[in-house]
Amino acid sequence: MAEGVIRNAGLDRPRGTERLAGFCRVATDNVDEAAEEIGRIFCPHDLKPLRTSEPGFFARHNCAAFDGFSINYVAYGGSVSIDPGCLERFFLMQLPLRGSALVSTSSRDIATTPGSTASVLSPTLPTRMAWKNDCAQLILLVERKLVEQRAAALAGKAVQTIEFDPVVDLKAPAAQALQAQMLGLVNLAEGLRPKRNLSPAAAANWREGILDRLLTGQPHGLSQAIKTFAGEGETLPQALRRARDYLVAHAADPFDLVQLATAAGIGIRALQLGFQRHFGMSISQMLLDLRLAHLNTRLKAAPPDARIIDIAFDLGFTHVSRMAGAYRQKFGETPSATLRRLH
C-alpha cells in the first residue's frame, strides 16, 4: 500500500461513520495538502472550503485497493467545493454516509443524501461537487477499461464509451443491491486488513460481480443493448430465448446448427432470420461474442503464467490468430494485454 500523508491524525472529527480506518492514506487539516495527496490517488482536482471563515476543515481518505478497482472512504470537515473536471481513467460511485453533496455534471445536477440518493460519475463527463456539513462518502472506483470491456461483453458490441445516468435512487432494488455489494467489499477489506491480500480468484469474482451489478442495475448508453443481447426484450419469441439459452450453456462446445434449431423448436431458416431481426446479428456472431466474453472474464481471473492458447481452446476456439484478432477488435487490446494488466 502506498504511503499517504497522516498529519494531525488526532483532529476532532465525527467518527461514527468512518470505515476502512486501517487503510488510511490521507489525514490532514491542510487544504493544499489534501488536494495534492487525494489527487494522487484519484485525479488532480481543485479543492476549496466553501466558507473560509468556517473552522474545522479536515480531510481523510482511506483506501483498500484491488486489481482494477478500489473501495474508499473519503470525508471532509465543514463544506468544500471539488472540481475534478473529467475523470478520464475511471468511474466512481459515491455513496453518502453523512452530510450531503451537490454533484453537477454536464447532463444534470444531483443532490445526494444518505439512504436517499447516490451518484455515479462517468469519466467523459466534466463534474463539479460541493460536499457539505462534514460530508463522508464511500466511493467505489473502477477502471474505465474494465467497465467498457464488460459492457461490450454483455451487449455483444465492440468497446465504446459508456456514460451512466448519474442519479442513483437508493430506494430502488437494483441500487440497494449495488449498495450492498459496496458495503460487503468494505466489510471484506476490514476483515482482511492492509497486510493481507485477497486471492486473485476472489478479487476477480468481486470485480466481475461489481461490474455486473453496475452495468445491469444503473442505466447507461448500452443498457438496452445488454437487455437485447441477454434475450430480455419484451417481444422476444420463446424459441429465440431457448436458442440463446442453449448457446450460453454450450458456448464452448462444437457448434451444431441442427441441435440448436431442435433446442429452439423451430426450423433452421426461421432461427437464422429470428436472430438477425431480434438480436441484430447472426447465430455465429452471437456465439463468437459469447466465447470472447468468456475469454475476457477468464483472462482477468487467470494467474499471470496462464497459457492463453489453453484457455482459448477450452472455450471452443480453434484458430488462435482469428481469435486474437476478434478479441482485439471487440475489446481494444490483445488477450495478452488483458492478462498482464491485472497482474
Write the pLDDT tens digit of every residue in 142-155.
Answer: 999 999 999 999 99
Q: Confidence band (pLDDT; 50, 70, 90) for 13? A: very low
Cβ atoms 290, 231 nearer than 8 A: no
At 96 the three-state DSSP class reads strand
Give the model confidence (pLDDT) of 265-296 as tens digits.
Answer: 999 999 999 999 888 899 999 999 999 999 99
Query: Given a cut of 80, is residue 3 above it in pLDDT?
Result: no
Distance CA 199, CA 301 (A): 10
Would you list the domain boundaries of the chain? 5-221, 225-341
Fold of the CATH domain 225-341: Arc Repressor Mutant, subunit A (1.10.10)
The reply to whether domains 5-221 and 225-341 share a CATH topology is no
Q: Residue type for 48, please? A: K
Rg of the Cα atoms in the chain: 23
* Sign of the dihedral defined by the CA atoms of residues 225, 230, 232, 235, in that order: positive
* Alpha helix (H) residue ranges in the chain: 31-41, 144-155, 173-192, 200-217, 223-229, 238-249, 257-264, 268-278, 283-301, 308-314, 320-331, 335-341
Give the model confidence (pLDDT) of 156-179 as tens digits.
Answer: 999 999 999 999 999 999 999 999
Angle at 255 between CA 249 and CA 257, to 5 degrees: 100
Fold of the CATH domain 5-221: Jelly Rolls (2.60.120)
* DSSP one-letter code for 29: S
Q: What is the mean pLDDT of the chain?
A: 90
Q: Confidence band (pLDDT; 50, 70, 90) for 195? A: confident
Task: Specify burial of residue 7 (Cβ count, 10 A radius: 0-12, 13-18, 19+).
Answer: middle
Helices (H) then strands (E): counts for the chain: 12, 11
**pTM (2 decimals)?**
0.87
Query: 89: how many CB neighbours lie within 10 A of its CB?
Result: 12
Distance CA 292, CA 323 (A): 8
